[in-house]
Structure 1
Amino acid sequence: MEKIRNLRPEEIALLQSQGCHAENWENVIVPVVFETKYIYNVRFSGTVILGAFEKEFTLPGGVRKHSGLKNTTLHNCMLGDNVLIENTHNYIANYRIQDNCFIENVNVIVVDGQSSFGNNVLVSVLNETGGREVPIYDWLSAPMAYVIALYRHRPKLIERLQELIAGYTRKITSDYGIIGENSKIINTGTIRNINIGKHVTIENCTRLENGTVNSNEKAPVYIGDSVIAQDFIISSGAVIADAAKIIRCFIGQACHVTHNFSAHDSLLFSNCSFENGEACAIFAGPFTVSMHKSSLLIAGMYSFLNAGSGSNQSNHMYKLGPIHQGIVERGSKTTSDSYILWPARIGAFSLVMGRHHHHSDTSDMPFSYLIEKDDETYLVPGVNLRSVGTIRDAQKWPKRDKRTDPNRLDMINYNLLSPYTIQKMLKAVDILTNLQTLVGETSEIYYYQNTRIKGSSLQNALKFYRMAINKFLGNSLIKRLEGTQFSSIEEVRRQLVPTTAEGAGEWVDLSGLILPKDQLDGLIEHIENGQINTLEMAEAFFHLTHQSYYDMEWTWAYRKIEEYYGIRLNEITAEKIIELVEIWKSSVIGLDELLYKDAKKEFSLTSMTGFGVDGTRKEKEEDFEVVRGAFEQNPFVTAVKEHISTKRALGDELIGRMNRICNPEG
């Protein structure tokens, strides 16, 4: 803003003739170059600082309106340049309104006393009755929230993090709010104690109380019709619209909460999409999706979840109230009308079908189906590894990352196979082989963690898991040796030596961020002893760990290759590498062929039911092909076939290089 001055007597007279009033005209401050002709029927109180009114806004449909003030009351406000405020039914008090803002037909915009704008609001996530409260703040990430919610057995850690969040909150607490430049607020009811970032659009909204809208030019936020929000933080790129209701919630970057969805005491992280249903005390990691009217997500932790219509959980058994919680690990799906009685834990990339009352824990059986039969939970381990839907999901998530903000809060690892899932498969193989040994290989039913496994399912699971383990370990080995030429086996061995010591032990999934547990333990100790003493330092750790993923993944894979195949990589021969690549090739191609067969089911005659509605079988097939395309031309099918030939060529190329070491003369 340019230099400022008081109004001149003639300017005051002009303003009064245009219906304006002031408690004290001395407290109305204007730029040196100032015109009164765009100010009508305005009541000023407290100190009001105005900017210049030089810009014209062009509205949808071609209507033009000049910046200025009309039919409004301003109390203790500072305006930037080229602001338009028109038709405020009550008043605007204690706000700094930045350049180029457009505010029209609002009831009241006020900061009432000291406000932290939603920061340090306690969200009773997972357990509605308390015990896992996460204090939300502007830059909360999914990994940080995971640690606060789930590491309550480290009271000093929780105390230190609560102190850091409280310290940040004190810094941003203020008795005035901000409406960022280029923001638009139209036809809106009450806005009380709200900090509004840049390039926000709020239109036809009912009520916003005690919150922050962290919008910016690269990732604007939209808040639409009939929204009610209270005690919240909304991150950049989010869309909240169509009568959504959020109370005590953190809304992550690029989230969409629309069509009457209601949520309370919930954390929704990047790229979540919620419509129609209800969420209560949930921890929704990245890409959690619930789109259907009758769906209720309650007291659960999810990520990369797809909830079918009518999906439901319950968190009390009519005894001590809603105290139970559940975890559905990454990448899972619930079918229509599925139900889980908490407490329960569902393994990664699983499909839940039917109603489950037996508190199962399938966390060591990833890529499984949980199916209800005669009120019992049947577990089909590993079968999702051959499902075309699982692979399609893994491909679509990176494409559906709608974050446009260069400052990304959540670190998201999209890998289907990682040390996190492979360590579980290795454990699953041990568990299943032990079950076979204890019960006998010919048993029809095996019992595991309140589930039943059919004998045939167990046999198949061992096959699927071993193929996936071979695929991952082979991938890691080939990636390590890719694009390098070797003249001797010693050079190969040197290339295989890990570049970092980190990553050898157990791995964990911090709601999207996959990392070694000892790294997380180190972070926790550093927070507890004060070595990490700012929230920025803790978040920097998550970013750095995410960037180092592949180096640490190889450290883990190096150890596992040695254990799993009973070899020593520092003594490996070219012949042994060729043998491992052949194992990898057959596993990759074997899994791809299973996917190909699964995809083919989508093009069976049964799938054509309803096509060619009034015609012959030939017309049915022709109609299906026009709508769905031919099987061999389907993008996924062609991708699978390409994958088979690419991987075969990749393996053959490495085998060729190893053969040259075996036969240097050849």
Structure 2
Amino acid sequence: MALIKKDSMLQLGHNFISGDQIPEGKDEYYLRFEQSNSNNYRQLRRDEIQLLQANQNLSDDWNNLLVTDKFNPSFVRNCNFYGLVRIGDLEEYFLEYHDMRYPVGLYNSTIVSCDLGNNVSLNNVNYVSHYIIGNESILFNVNELQVSNYSKFGNGILKKGEDENVRIWLEICNENGGRKILPFDGMLTSDAFLWSKYRDDDELMHKFVEITENQFSATRGFYGTIGEQCVIKNCQIIKDVIIGNGAYIKGANKLKNLTINSSFESRTQIGEGVELVNGIIGFGCKIFYGVKAVRFSLGNNSSLKYGARLINSILGENSTISCCEVLNCLIYPGHEQHHNNSFLIAATVLGQSNIAAGATIGSNHNSRANDGEIVTGRGFWPGLCVSLKHNSKFASFTLLAKGSYPAELNISLPFSLVSINEREDLLQIIPAYWWMYNMYALARNSWKYHARDARKIRYQEFEFDYLAPDTIEEIFEALSLLENWVGADRSRKKDLNGQAGAGYEEIGRATLLNSSKKLNQIEVLGGIVEANSRKTVILKPSEAYNSYREMIHYFAIKTVIEYSRTHKLANLNQIIARLGEGQRSKWINLGGQLVSENDVAELKSKIKDGSLDNWNKIHDHYNYLHRFYEQRKAEYAFAVLKDLHLTRTAVDIENKWNEWLDWAIEIAEKVKDRTFDSRNKDYMNEFRKLPYDNEKEMEMVLGNINDNEFIKTVQTSYLHFLEHVVQYKFPVNAL
């Protein structure tokens, strides 16, 4: 079979679709006319044809070249036209972008069956076919720009007559394809989570495929579109790509089967050496300098830079990946990965995360199969040269100290520091480490992601606070684990203090609540935290237990007070009436948005029964759920208070209320002071001072700690919290 076909020159520019692909009464251009509906074209006058010919232009049929009344043939030189070409206004202007000035007009280009908007500038476009190009766009030095009649623009659909084996899937979370999903324009990490997670629900999986296929037409013959005021220059191959308004693309090697979302308020930019195939790119994205991405989806306001490689993965909003390799991953909003030698594979990362240099997350040498996964909560931070094995799971805000972790891990203690004691061959964990020793970094984590959320187009609202319903539930689980582990450890060591016959949890709780008995460490038997026979040592369990209780209490009071002020609840009686019926529940991190487990179950039911029959309705339902988040979060916080302090009646709450507020004030002061102290270590540590000859030099380089904007923010927040809490200290007979 011949690799290269030949046909009559008369067919060049025609038969983009043919035969039964064309509905009865239509022609091959009917979809193009729907995409670019304009009746302001006319045929060329004889004098215009003569001038075009004098300017070294060629056409297979000048009758197929249609123009507007403001068309000036003087601005068309050395071009070849084939098929139906429609040209908008060409007036005596130049277009300027980044100090480069491009004359309006068509120069040194081959144009096949295209619609060109008003006052465009095409110069040295070697071949452009079947594109609709918006007004005042600039195309300069482009080798190949074309669309096939079966183009899907990155969406995981099939066109009429195509075999299933050509469909594009994203094999996220796992290399074996067991969690694969179909990409589509507008995909959110929430969609990807629902689709990849609930694989046991066959009906739901079927609905997701059906909804995606119905979202896009299977008809052949759609043209590619380039929005208004786009700049595309010095590019090699662009095929089957939709490009939104205001996009800037320079020096790309290959762009194929993509939707590139861009708008004037949220422009997307693609730079030198980039190769992108089979993907969806969100609004306001930046992709520069040798990036390679294949089968991917990129959320709004995210970046790929400096040779990053993203394959079979979804990257959420407000994220950056540079220099490294990411394969088969679902990554929530707020992810940072900047180092050339870091590697992330087959992982679900719930955002606000940072991957350090040398980290190998998901190394596969503990199995011959490629079916492992890693799941991490929010705030995941593996340190330098960390190596992890599938399958592992990490609670929120887990910090892994440098080291190669030889076996699978199940870290269920949030805000922990995990490390390896190589001398004694032990795994060590300090629970609540961030709260006790690095409050500056913990508090700043929440603050910085709010500050960096520069999305102009927001499809979903996210929870960035480190204390939120999802992490509070993890803390409750951690309290239970500590109680059981302490009880088991005391029992093994025969240190029961008169509690013989009691269960582990009861022994552990009594020990941990005994302020006079501080435990330096406890041991957890091998095979519980780590898939290894060696023991795990929990350091500072008493301090961690008390810290976890502080975190729960601070979250609960802070949330209830904020809600009460917002909703003008004047007294404790009104607070109890509004929030007192709430119950604790499990919360799901739905792509960065926190949703109760019951609401997720209802969402899935509505998808399956057809109430939510397209992705736009599903996304609207996310926003609907968010409208109730403040209320449900406050109800949850009040339930947390009752569970933490083992109170149930209104009278008990009244008797303890002022005491609860006083403790919250103490905790808030601790947060403020620890934030300052943990940052001040960088100014007081003698080794940190080594590069500087004097205090002034250090201050000029690092700045004065008292001028630190974030610390000022924390101090101001403390004063506001103090003011607000005092307003809700009620007399004993408030009820």
Residue 41 of structure 1 aligns with an amino acid whose one-letter code is N
Residue 273 of structure 1 aligns with an amino acid whose one-letter code is T
Q: Which residue of 1 aligns with 2:34?
A: none
Secondary structure at the aligned position of 1:608 is classed as: coil
Query: Is the 8 Å Cα contact of residues 348 and 375 (structure 2) preserved in structure 1?
Result: yes
Query: Is the 8 Å Cα contact of residues 575 and 662 (structure 1) preserved in structure 2?
Result: no
- Written as runs of structure 1 = structure 2, the 5 A alignment for 1:193-592 is 193-302=240-349, 303-317=351-365, 319-353=367-401, 354-362=403-411, 364-374=412-422, 376-386=426-436, 387=438, 388-405=440-457, 408-440=458-490, 444-447=521-524, 449-451=528-530, 454=537, 456-482=539-565, 490-497=573-580, 504-568=584-648, 570-571=650-651, 574-592=654-672
Over residues 451-472 of structure 1, what are the superposed CA-to-partner deviations in whole Å (9 max), with x where a residue is unaligned? 5554542122101101101111
Change in 2 beyond 3 A, CA 1:28/1:357: same
Aligned equivalents of 1:483, 1:411: Cα separation in 2: 19
- Equivalent of 1:4, from 13, 38, 41? 41
Secondary structure at the aligned position of 1:384 is classed as: helix
Aligned equivalents of 1:16, 1:141: Cα separation in 2: 51
Residue 198 of structure 2 aligns with an amino acid whose one-letter code is Y
Over residues 338-382 of structure 1, what are the superposed CA-to-partner deviations in whole Å (9 max), with x where a residue is unaligned? 1111110111011111221221111x3111111122254322111
Residue 314 of structure 1 aligns with an amino acid whose one-letter code is G
Alignment of 1:139 with 2:186, yes or no, is yes
Change in 2 beyond 3 A, CA 1:312/1:86: same
Aligned equivalents of 2:316, 2:574: Cα separation in 1: 45
Query: Is the 8 Å Cα contact of residues 562 and 569 (structure 1) preserved in structure 2?
Result: no
Query: Is the 8 Å Cα contact of residues 35 and 53 (structure 1) preserved in structure 2?
Result: yes
Change in 2 beyond 3 A, CA 1:159/1:335: same
Compute the displacement of 1:610 (Å).
2.7
Aligned equivalents of 1:578, 1:473: Cα separation in 2: 14
Over residues 472-503 of structure 1, what are the superposed CA-to-partner deviations in whole Å (9 max), with x where a residue is unaligned? 121133224337888876445434456xx7x7
Residue 129 of structure 1 aligns with an amino acid whose one-letter code is N
Equivalent pairs, count:
648
Aligned equivalents of 2:40, 2:714: Cα separation in 1: 66
Residue 451 of structure 2 aligns with an amino acid whose one-letter code is K
Aligned equivalents of 1:484, 1:256: Cα separation in 2: 39
Aligned equivalents of 2:312, 2:643: Cα separation in 1: 45
Q: Say which is worse superposed, 481-490 or 41-50, in terms of deviation.
A: 481-490
Aligned equivalents of 2:669, 2:268: Cα separation in 1: 45
Q: How big is the alpha-carbon RMSD for the aligned residues of Structure 1 and Structure 2?
A: 2.3
Aligned equivalents of 2:250, 2:391: Cα separation in 1: 41
Q: Which residue of 1 aligns with 2:160?
A: none
Change in 2 beyond 3 A, CA 1:404/1:488: closer
Change in 2 beyond 3 A, CA 1:10/1:637: closer
Compute the displacement of 1:174 (Å).
4.1
Q: Which residue of 2 aligns with 1:92?
A: 128
Query: Is the 8 Å Cα contact of residues 285 and 512 (structure 1) preserved in structure 2?
Result: yes
Extract unaligned runs of 5+ from structure 2.
1-37, 157-167, 491-510, 512-518
Compute the displacement of 1:527 (Å).
1.1
Secondary structure at the aligned position of 2:474 is classed as: helix
Query: Is the 8 Å Cα contact of residues 348 and 367 (structure 1) preserved in structure 2?
Result: yes
- Equivalent of 2:154, from 118, 121, 137? 118
Query: Is the 8 Å Cα contact of residues 356 and 376 (structure 1) preserved in structure 2?
Result: no
- Written as runs of structure 1 = structure 2, the 5 A alignment for 1:58-69 is 58-59=95-96, 64-69=101-106
Residue 317 of structure 1 aligns with an amino acid whose one-letter code is H
Alignment of 1:648 with 2:684, yes or no, is no
Query: Is the 8 Å Cα contact of residues 142 and 232 (structure 2) preserved in structure 1?
Result: yes
Over residues 368-397 of structure 1, what are the superposed CA-to-partner deviations in whole Å (9 max), with x where a residue is unaligned? 111122254322111112312111111111
Over residues 510-530 of structure 1, what are the superposed CA-to-partner deviations in whole Å (9 max), with x where a residue is unaligned? 231111011001111111222
Alignment of 1:179 with 2:229, yes or no, is no
TM-score, normalising length from structure 2?
Answer: 0.84
Query: Is the 8 Å Cα contact of residues 553 and 644 (structure 2) preserved in structure 1?
Result: no
Over residues 581-640 of structure 1, what are the superposed CA-to-partner deviations in whole Å (9 max), with x where a residue is unaligned? 12222233234333333223222232434332xx4xxx2x33222322344444344444
Over residues 27-85 of structure 1, what are the superposed CA-to-partner deviations in whole Å (9 max), with x where a residue is unaligned? 11111343211111111111111111025234357554331111111111111111111
Compute the displacement of 1:292 (Å).
0.8
Identity of aligned pairs, percent?
22
Compute the displacement of 1:334 (Å).
1.6
Aligned equivalents of 2:318, 2:252: Cα separation in 1: 22
Query: Is the 8 Å Cα contact of residues 194 and 209 (structure 1) preserved in structure 2?
Result: yes
Q: Say which is worse superposed, 33-42 or 450-459, in terms of deviation.
A: 450-459
Query: Is the 8 Å Cα contact of residues 191 and 207 (structure 1) preserved in structure 2?
Result: yes
Q: Say which is worse superposed, 191-200 or 627-636, in terms of deviation.
A: 627-636
Compute the displacement of 1:561 (Å).
2.2
